[in-house]
Copies of this chain bind each other. A is one copy, B any other.
Amino acid sequence: MYDSDFIARCAQLAMLLEVSANPKPGNVDREHDFENLRYEHFLGSAVGTYVVFKKAASLRGYPIGGLILEAVEASDAWQMGGNAHFGAILMLVPLCMAAALSSDVEALRKNVGEVVKKTTVFDALQFYKAFSRVNVRVGETEALDVRDPASLDVIEKENLTLYNIMEISTPNDTLAREWTEGFPRTFRGAEILQKRFKSGHSLNDSIVYTFLSLLGDIPDTLIEKKFGGGLAEEVSAMSKQALISGRVAEFDEYLLGKEINPGTTADLIIASLFVTLLGGLRF
């Protein structure tokens, strides 16, 4: 079985490598800050959350919703840029828990699908608390607006587990879809990344390449929420094009200029990096 320190370090390093890779079109990277969310905020968040990933990987039966809430809180230990890693935390907490039950990546793939199914109503409530700390665009159903306190009543009355919440969000949210479908995009990203790196490309190049590949195939949830599905599909087509033409810097400038940030794809990349590091990547 993977050791809890190793698991937590893979999670942390995944966050650091993702935010550092550049040019990572439209997102914060080591050469681009947003006005209120800067590169340093991501470093602070990655350092702050480590202890929670370690807890998640310690097999002590901590509730998953509580860990997500703790990680969101720990993300702010130093940095005041706000929500740096909410989606990443949503991916990494179950991945860390499942890694602690696994001795290789294949086992992880099986276990992570099981871990998320075991969530409770309490997990759902904690998850909504985590939401209320950050300003995240989420897939809402009318009955379950996270900004509406009445949602908490609905959860309790209808006995909705966190997994149920993810089922409800699955049609509109890639990360929820990862939860309910066994993280297939996460593992696909890990395969793309590994293959690219093994063929002799630098780690930075391999991460950017994987980012463009996933974005090309999967319209970004955050862009969908902010700008609608039409633009999200357009951006995916542009990403495919950038991968073929190699004009990544141009694509980056275009998205940055229009403040279109594929944040969900960044979250996926972190999950893929976690799997790759756990599998033994060294650079």
Residues of A participating in the B interface, judged by any CB pair closer than 8 Å: 5, 9, 12-13, 16-17, 20, 30-31, 38-41, 43-44, 46-48, 50-51, 77-80, 202-204, 277, 281-283
Contacts and interface: CB of A to CB of B under 8 A. Distances in A.
Contacts of A204: 38, 40
B12 A47 contact: yes
A31 B42 CA distance: 17
B283 A44 contact: yes
Q: Interface of chain A, helix or strand or loop or mixed?
A: helix
User: Oligomeric state, in number of copies?
Assistant: 2
A39 B47 contact: no
B203 A9 contact: no
Contacts of A48: 9
B282 A80 contact: yes
Highest count of chain B CB atoms <10 Å: which of A38, A48, A283: A283
A202 B35 CA distance: 12
Contacts of A283: 40-41, 44, 78-80
A17 B40 contact: yes
Pick from A5, A80, A282 the residue with the most CB of B within 10 Å.
A282
A207 to B, nearest CB: 9
B20 A40 contact: yes
For A38, A43, A282, which residue has the most chain B Cβ atoms within 10 angstroms? A43
Contacts of A80: 282-283
A17 B50 CA distance: 16
A62 B176 CA distance: 45
A40 B21 CA distance: 9
A78 B281 contact: yes
Given A31-B31, A40-B17, A47 B9 contact: yes
Contact of A20 (B17, B30, B51): B30
A5 B51 contact: yes
Contacts of A5: 51
Contact of A13 (B30, B39, B44, B51): B44
20 contacts: A9-B50, A9-B51, A12-B47, A12-B50, A13-B43, A13-B44, A13-B47, A16-B16, A16-B43, A16-B47, A20-B30, A30-B30, A30-B39, A31-B31, A40-B203, A41-B283, A50-B50, A78-B277, A79-B282, A80-B283
